[in-house]
Amino acid sequence: MTTARFWRDNATRYNLIATKCGNCGKVTFPPRNVCPVCHRKSMGKMEKIHLSGHGEVYSFSVVYDAPLAFEMQKPYVIAIIKMAEGVMLTAQIIDCECCEVAIGMKVKATLRKIGEEGPGGVIHYGYKFVPA
C-alpha cells in the first residue's frame, strides 16, 4: 500500500476514531459521512468519537497461508472484534498463544507495527488487540 493511501487513515488507525450518528446514535467504524440507518438525516451530524479500545472476540481464524507482507508473522490470529460501543472491526490478536483465543474472550487495543513498505520503506502502525 502506498504511503499516502495508508497515511490518510492514520488518525483512525492510531486512535480508533469512529463516528456516531447525531440522529439515531449508531456508531460506525471506520468513520463514515453518512449513517447507514438514517441516510440523509444524518448528514452533517456524524460526530467523531474515540472507541474505548475494549471489546470481545466475535470470531477468529489462525492464518497459516499468509500474504507475502505477513509471511514472517504466520501463523497469526486474525479476528473480528465486537467493541464495547457495539461496532465491529477486523484486527490481529497478539501476545498470546493461538490456542488461547476463543469467541467471547475479552481483549483491548494496543498500537503496534502493522507492516512496512519493503526493507527501507515506511513502517505502518495501527491497532492490534491483546487479552484484557
Candidate residues 4, 44, 90, 97; the one interacting with other proteins per rule CB under 8 A: 90
Q: Can you tell me the distance from the alpha carbon of 31 to that of 10, in angstroms, rounded to the nearest whole number?
A: 12
Q: Can you tell me the distance from the alpha carbon of 25 to that of 109, in angstroms, rounded to the nearest whole number?
A: 23
Candidate residues 44, 65, 120, 123; the one interacting with other proteins per rule CB under 8 A: 65
Would you count residue 125 as binding other proteins (CB under 8 A)?
A: no
Q: Can you tell me the distance from the alpha carbon of 129 to that of 106, in angstroms, rounded to the nearest whole number?
A: 10
User: Which segments of 76-121 does DSSP mark as H helices, in order?
Assistant: none
Candidate residues 17, 27, 70, 96; the one interacting with other proteins per rule CB under 8 A: 70
Would you count residue 56 as binding other proteins (CB under 8 A)?
A: no
Closest residue by Cα to residue 1 from 128, 111, 122: 122
Would you count residue 30 as binding other proteins (CB under 8 A)?
A: yes
Cross-sheet strand order for the sheet of 17-21 = 27-28, 17-21, 46-50
Would you count residue 59 as binding other proteins (CB under 8 A)?
A: yes
Cell numbers 490478536 correspond to what residue?
93
Minimum distance of other proteins from residue 109's CB (angstroms):
12
Footprint of other proteins (CB under 8 A): 1, 5-6, 9, 28, 30, 36, 58-68, 70, 73, 75-76, 78-80, 88-92, 98, 103, 114-115, 124, 126, 128
